């Protein structure tokens, strides 16, 4: 089976330039630690030195020196024309090292490019379907169908196809610093099913749940169906106000957070708040649901490691999805659970919900990941989205900055624009509807807070021309919605 190549920089690598430790030794130490903790495993490829140096903002020589030290000590090997890999047989010193322990307690469909009329500016949360590798996906699917056996067409494991769970675990360990083994991964039919499983397995009617305010409405409305009590926690520039939550609702059973990219306001949860949140969960035997919905798309700085990767007490449920990185119609997502007892509970509930997620989609996705197409696609999309992100900010500044405050973000798939006080939201929405634009307003996500009206403008699914045309229409709509503010006395 082909090993996945971490073409994406492993999360959590930071070089300190104002320290006595040489930069190449920091590279050496951090990669050695990743090998010791089994984030990088025998046979897995290290990122190319050129790309690593560019991302970290250092000379390629520094990366090469760090890799040479690892190679001299037997931790990695170089293969001409293929790259640099973790050695299959590690040195004795590594075998005696104490690894970081992961808390486990025991008929052919032809895909055609989507009609652009089906995705209208500025729809949010939609990947670039016009740039999806349809031919490659078709070829992968054809090979899967050709290799089908009776054994794969029967009832599969309720938790998911094991090779896919292995591929997901390997990807998350490197790219998101998630502590996990394949046995902890549960494949679900979309994130919403995953959230439903969390609610059914971990919550009782009347339980209190910390919710970011504003938050993802799909989760808040689902939780209300389970008759839990939502505790609206204000969101600050560095994420959920954890101190407020501790002061007002310390006995809550679960906290729902989007720490890598708060939805819908943007921004990441600070290190201090992450530590406070984990401490609370451990002390109160509570749970944290980490929704890591689009963390692959960060355009500035180093990748942010997951909250789950900091968890030493097994209190974080990690949620990820293929909808943003591949396509929404795939309907595959995953949870990473902390221990065997909870996994067994989730398996039983999922069994009586849908028995298993569709197997053909799992088989194709597995092959797509094993052959390296998945990581290459993410990398390609990240570059494309960074370009579209720049176009979006430029067009927003040109066309609508007179009507709203544009809130830039270093990551994500949409731009937040706060409306000025002289914009009539009712008139604006009517004009937008007439113009046949698809624009999301954050009022749908607010629980209790009094926030300035704001729009979310998606950019990942649209070409430069589509954006320009959309902004011209939006500017006209905003102009119609302007009214005169009363004069100050």
pLDDT at 453 over 60: yes
What is the per-residue pLDDT for 108?
39
Q: What is the mean pLDDT of residues 392-414?
A: 94
Distances in Å between the Cα of 195 and the Cα atoms of 33, 284, 329, 445 are 33, 21, 18, 17
Q: Are 165 and 171 in contact (CB under 8 A)?
A: no
d(CA 429, CA 217): 19
Q: What is the mean pLDDT of residues 301-315?
A: 90
| Complete domains list, the chain, with CATH | 23-94 (1.10.10.10), 132-376 (3.40.640.10), 383-481 (3.90.1150.10)
The better pLDDT of the pair 303, 439 is held by: 439
Q: How confident is the model over 258-279, as pLDDT tens digits?
A: 999 999 999 999 999 999 999 9
Banded model confidence at residue 8, pLDDT cuts 50, 70, 90: low
Q: In whole angstroms, how large is the CA radius of gyration of the chain? A: 24
What is the per-residue pLDDT for 467?
94
The continuous run of DSSP H or E covering 267 comes out as none
pLDDT at 111 over 70: no
pLDDT at 95 over 90: no
Q: What is the mean pLDDT of residues 402-411?
A: 92
Bridge partners (DSSP) listed for residue 319: 291, 335
Banded model confidence at residue 92, pLDDT cuts 50, 70, 90: low
Tell me what percent of the residues of the chain surpass a pLDDT of 70. Answer: 91
Banded model confidence at residue 369, pLDDT cuts 50, 70, 90: very high
What is the per-residue pLDDT for 36?
86
pLDDT at 150 over 80: no
Q: Are 456 and 294 in contact (CB under 8 A)?
A: no
Q: How confident is the model over 177-223, as pLDDT tens digits?
A: 999 999 999 999 999 999 999 999 999 999 999 999 999 999 999 99
Q: Which two tokens stand for residue 430?
A: 């009517």
Q: What is the maximum span of the chain, computed from C-alpha positions, in angstroms? A: 80
**Mean of the per-residue pLDDT values for the chain?**
89
Q: Residue-wise over 390-421: b if at least 16 C-beta within 10 A, else e? A: ebbeebbeebbeebbeeeebebbbbbbbbbbe
pLDDT at 163 over 50: yes
What is the per-residue pLDDT for 410?
86
Distances in Å between the Cα of 459 and the Cα atoms of 21, 140, 250, 267 are 42, 28, 38, 17
């Amino acid at each position: 089976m082909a090993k996945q190549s971490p073409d994406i920089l492993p999360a959590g690598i930071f070089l300190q330039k104002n320290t006595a430790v040489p930069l190449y030794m920091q590279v050496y130490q951090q990669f050695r630690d990743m090998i010791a903790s089994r984030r990088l495993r025998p046979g897995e490829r290290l990122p190319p030195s050129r790309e690593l140096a560019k991302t970290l903002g250092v000379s390629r020589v520094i990366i090469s020196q760090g890799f040479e030290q690892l190679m001299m000590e037997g931790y990695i090997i170089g293969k001409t024309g293929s790259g640099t890999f973790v050695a299959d047989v590690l040195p004795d010193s590594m075998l005696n090292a104490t690894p970081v322990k992961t808390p486990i307690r025991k008929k052919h469909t032809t895909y055609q490019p989507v009609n652009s009329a089906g995705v209208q500016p500025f729809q949010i949360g939609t990947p670039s379907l016009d740039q999806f590798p349809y031919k490659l996906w078709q070829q992968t699917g054809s090979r899967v169908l050709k290799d089908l056996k009776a054994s794969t067409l029967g009832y599969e494991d309720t938790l998911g196809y094991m090779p896919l769970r292995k591929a997901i675990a390997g990807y998350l360990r490197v790219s998101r610093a998630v502590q996990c083994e394949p046995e902890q991964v549960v494949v679900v039919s979309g994130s919403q099913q995953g959230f439903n499983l969390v609610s059914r397995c971990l919550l009782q009617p009347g339980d209190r749940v910390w919710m970011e305010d504003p938050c993802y409405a799909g989760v808040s409305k689902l939780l209300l169906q389970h008759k839990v009590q939502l505790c609206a926690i204000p969101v600050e520039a560095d994420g959920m106000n954890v101190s407020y939550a501790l002061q007002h609702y310390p006995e809550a059973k679960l906290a729902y957070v989007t720490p890598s990219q708060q939805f819908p306001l943007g921004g990441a949860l600070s290190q201090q708040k992450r530590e406070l949140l984990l401490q609370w969960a451990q002390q109160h035997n509570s749970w944290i649901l980490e929704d890591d919905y689009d963390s692959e798309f960060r355009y500035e700085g180093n990748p942010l490691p997951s909250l789950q990767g900091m968890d030493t007490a097994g209190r974080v449920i990690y949620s990820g999805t293929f909808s943003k990185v591949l396509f929404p119609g795939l309907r595959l997502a995953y949870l990473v659970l902390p221990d065997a007892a909870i996994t067994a509970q989730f398996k039983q509930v999922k069994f009586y919900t849908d028995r298993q997620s569709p197997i053909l989609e799992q088989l194709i996705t597995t092959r797509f990941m094993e052959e390296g197409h998945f990581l290459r696609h993410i990398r390609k999309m990240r570059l494309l989205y960074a370009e579209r992100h720049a176009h979006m900010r430029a067009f927003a500044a040109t066309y609508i900055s007179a009507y709203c405050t544009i809130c830039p973000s270093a990551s994500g798939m949409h731009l937040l624009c706060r409306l000025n006080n002289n914009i009539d939201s009712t008139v604006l929405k009517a004009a937008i509807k007439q113009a046949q634009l698809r624009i999301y307003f954050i009022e749908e996500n607010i629980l209790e807070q009094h926030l300035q009206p704001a729009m979310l403008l998606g950019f990942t699914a649209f070409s430069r021309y589509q954006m320009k045309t959309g902004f011209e229409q939006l500017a006209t709509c905003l102009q119609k919605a302007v009214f005169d503010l009363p004069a100050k006395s």
